[in-house]
Amino acid sequence: MLTAKQHELIRFIQQRLEETGISPSFEEMKEALDLKSKSGVHRLISALEERGFIRRLPNRARALEVIKNPEDSTPIPRSAPAVAANDRVVAAAASAPKAAPEPANDVIEIPLHGRIAAGAPIEAIEGQSSLPVPAALLGPGEHYALEVSGDSMIEAGIFDGDFALVRRTNTARDGEIVVALVNGEEATLKYLHKDGSLVRLDPANASYDPQVYGPGEVEVQGKLAGLLRRYH
């Protein structure tokens, strides 16, 4: 027999799968169950998994499948196949004759366009590779990634070797961190400030001076949307 919280959680997961095909995040589950921390969610999920009510889908972040009905502890009917085309797993809905929408992969691939300076401008190198990024780090719009080179933005928490996640746009407000293309050939990551017809690119490191450019010398290529850091 399930506890009240286990029962509440499994119903919440099933409802989300039926409505959107996407497993709820741990934060969403914590809020829905009015828990104080995500560790409580982890314990509930582990207990449900051990008792055979849910299972985690391999190689997918935040993907769960409800496999047993909590009301009568019977397996959920599988009249619809559990594996769809291209070997993608879908969740079967307990109350519907057809399968619920496919649980979405929470990691997406965005283009990785080489290195960008967080110091003196360097050439932005176009690359052919891609970078897997948690979808939660990205908002709407088209995104790409650049590897940061230099230390001029360390006071903004941006370090050499970080991956800047950039939303593609050609406009930005004063004070936003942008990818700026200088004189059509060099790219840098800086705070953007406009002073009349001039554009000032400010570092976040007291060891570096602001860079001031005239009309038409700076083109905004995108705005910083997030950072990805690898620890070795």
Residues marked as catalytic = 152, 190
Q: Classify 225 as helix, strand or coil.
A: strand
Distances (CA, A) of 102 to 18, 63, 129, 154: 9, 10, 27, 41
Partner residues linked to 2 by β-bridges = none
What's the longest Cα–Cα distance across the chain? Answer: 72
Helices (H), the chain: 4-20, 26-32, 38-50
CB 147 within 8 A of CB 230: no
Would you mind telling me the total number of residues written for the chain in this entry?
232
